[in-house]
């Protein structure tokens, strides 16, 4: 498993939300580009960059931040937030993202899963499957759907999707620790999927728990900003026989 630090952005600044609730926001002094440089300097190769303005409004708003980080560092950046069209995906890739996270769009447009693959290929795409109380949440987690996660994942795998970012919203931003029972059934049911998990990570032990679940990767954001996990610890974790991939172009 690879540990991936996250930077969430509102108004060009680093923030964290609790349970995806925009009214429960915490701001951090770190500049996103400076934080990305620190991540690179620690020896980490990947970054999860989230445009919360885009997630809330339905259109990417922080592509300039992405472009600055992608051009000014060697990090492999996966970017999400407000990706609601093929044009959004293209713009995000052109801004320097190695991979694009999209979730809401895949539900709103019936042929989006197949068309996305034909236009961009499976290595450039990550399906964002954000789950609250067993159901999928979309539109920046502001809308709860009746759809369960497993049939959606099964459908995407059947047409060629490979990468899935699965977030346990009930633990997101809480630092209460991950729930193995949330991830293990998914990994067991869909062994061909490359799952990246997130939600509640607050310690290196929590990352090891997720590794034991069989995830390909795990995202941690608030714990790094709060000083509960250091970037150096993440780098050492990734160096200990962990799967690492090169930055794609």
Q: Is 205 annotated in the active site?
A: no
DSSP 12: T
Is 130 a residue of the active site?
A: yes
Burial class (CB in 10 A: 0-12, 13-18, 19+), 24: exposed
Strands (E), the chain: 2-10, 13-18, 21-27, 46-51, 76-80, 99-102, 125-132, 135-138, 143-148, 163-168, 194-198, 217-220
- What tokens were used for 80? 């999400």
Angstrom distance (rounded) from CA 172 to CA 21: 10
- Which among 8, 53, 78, 88 is annotated as catalytic? 8
Catalytic site residue from 51, 130, 168, 172: 130
The residues annotated with a catalytic role in the active site are 8, 130
């Amino acid at each position: 498993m690879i540990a991936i630090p996250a930077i969430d952005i509102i108004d060009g600044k680093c923030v964290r939300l609790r349970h995806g609730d925009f009214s429960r926001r915490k701001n951090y002094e770190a500049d996103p580009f400076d934080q990305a440089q620190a991540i690179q300097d620690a020896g980490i190769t990947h970054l999860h960059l989230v445009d919360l303005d885009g997630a809330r409004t339905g259109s990417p708003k922080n592509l300039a931040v992405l472009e600055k980080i992608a051009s000014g560092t060697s990090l492999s950046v996966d970017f999400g937030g407000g990706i609601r069209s093929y044009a959004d995906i293209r713009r995000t890739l052109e801004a320097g993202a190695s991979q694009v996270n999209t979730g809401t769009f895949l539900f709103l447009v019936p042929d989006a899963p197949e068309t996305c693959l034909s236009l961009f290929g499976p290595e450039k795409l990550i399906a964002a499957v954000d789950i609250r109380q067993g159901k999928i949440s979309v539109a920046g987690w502001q809308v709860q759907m009746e759809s369960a996660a497993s049939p959606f994942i099964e459908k995407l795998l059947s047409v060629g999707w490979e990468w899935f970012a699965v977030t346990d919203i009930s633990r997101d931003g809480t630092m209460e620790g991950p729930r193995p029972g949330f991830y293990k059934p998914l990994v067991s049911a869909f062994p061909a999927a490359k799952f990246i998990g997130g939600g509640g990570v607050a310690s290196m032990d929590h990352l090891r728990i997720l590794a034991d679940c069989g995830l390909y990767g795990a995202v941690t954001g608030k714990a790094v900003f709060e000083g509960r996990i250091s970037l150096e610890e993440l780098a050492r974790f990734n160096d200990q026989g962990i799967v690492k991939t090169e930055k794609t172009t």
